[in-house]
Structure 1
């Protein structure tokens, strides 16, 4: 008699390995916007070395797209790169901010001249209505909201030139002085801003290029001592805020 021996049909399998940690599928554009915001608001503190490994973990992204973003932001002036430290956050100093305001002034006066020539009457009326709507926002509203309204006004003015390069350049400089303007807005700039916007629109409506440029100069220009004071307030906010 032949005796069959039953054998287990279960195959021996290796113990499961811990599943590799997956990175989120953030697009390069999303990574760019997140890191740009961190740089613009000095969540990356002035002069701070950027640890790419830690930042990739914080954002839950791989280092390759992150490195591409850091290089792009360096080219755009939001970060710097040194031989020994790698990428570092840009400084917050009077000279750099003054230079940016000076650049913004020359840029926006050129925008104003071109808008006088190219904006249609209907477009100017729409801009006037938007300023009237902005003026209805309470002065004690959140500073981020107030600054967003202010930046939007200047971007709408830039779009009236029908020149994409002006729009792109203004968007960049706005982002690079965003933090300083936010500090400025928190310290009582709002009432003057809205009144000056309406005066700018009225000059545009009258196609008075000379008056418009003069108004923009008064609206945008900042003396070095003013910038120095705002930067002092900015440093105080940066180093007393809680880091996430």
Structure 2
């Protein structure tokens, strides 16, 4: 069972806490979630826990099986490859809309933020890099001015964050990673959609070999924590 520090005090807090557990696989992949134990750990009744789990089912972060209850989503290579494909395909599909709708000032503001990240990237731990990765894709998606696309991005990014975090641990020069973000934004400002698509595709690509290695490391970490 996942471990938390302290207790939570509101329905929103419960949802946020349980969502973070699901994203980070603090529940064992494929394991049944004990609502009573989880409620006790969070210091709340089962009602807000059940509400949180139901909401997370709609985000595909938790599985529900009729007559059996709630389960942590699985984490196997097929799942990871499907998610990686959806992650890349979706974000590449929004790029033409970004070119059509993004304002210059908006892109310049994102570029300034990314430049600051690049300047300090080597000091950033993988968990923060994964969040920065999510934030960058959220900001790019916001440039479409389409709230449904923003919602889709949030779902995909949350489901892939654990894998991305494990992958980012292998980056020796983290500044170069953030410079890739910077290049995408500079090309948007320059109006070069063809080159921006190439750079963005490289940024988003997770090949099968890379995914398999990250999955093995991630599963090893999950089961090692469970053993302790």
Q: CA deviation at 1:242?
A: 6.1
The list of structure 1 runs, each at least 4 consecutive aligned residues, that deviate by more than 6 angstroms after superposition, is: none
Determine helix, strand or coil for the equivalent of 1:88. strand
- CA distance, structure 1, for counterparts of residue 226 and residue 120 of structure 2: 29
Task: Output the CA distance in 2 between the equivalents of 1:229 and 1:161.
Answer: 34
Deviation at 1:30, TM superposition (A): 1.4
1:100 aligns with 2:83: yes
TM-score, normalising length from structure 2? 0.90
Q: Give the match for residue 4 of structure 1.
A: none
Q: CA RMSD in A?
A: 1.9
1:161 alignment partner, SS class: coil
Secondary structure at 1:87 match in 2: strand
Pair member with larger Rg:
1
Counterpart selection for 1:174 from 157, 162, 172: 157
- Between stretches 150-159 and 36-45, larger displacement belongs to 150-159
The unaligned stretches of length 5 or more in structure 1 are 1-23
Q: Can you give the 5+ residue segments of structure 2 that lack an aligned partner in the other structure? A: 1-6
- Identify the residue that residue 146 of structure 2 maps to in structure 1: 163
Q: Which residue of 1 aligns with 2:113?
A: 130
Which residue in 2 is equivalent to 1:45? Answer: 28
Higher percent of residues as helix = 2
For 1:235, which of 219, 225, 228 is the aligned residue?
219
Normalization by structure 1: what TM-score? 0.84
Q: Following TM superposition, by how much is the alpha carbon of 1:122 offset from its aligned partner in structure 2, in angstroms? A: 1.3
Q: What is the count of residue pairs matched by the alignment?
A: 221
Could you give the per-residue CA deviations for residues 89-132 of structure 1, whole angstroms, max 9, x where no partner exists? 01111111211121121221122211111111111211211111
Within 1, Cα distance between the matches of 2:92 and 2:194?
A: 10
Q: Is the aligned partner of 1:224 residue 2:201?
A: no
Q: Distance between the aligned counterparts of 1:41 and 1:149, measured in 2? A: 15
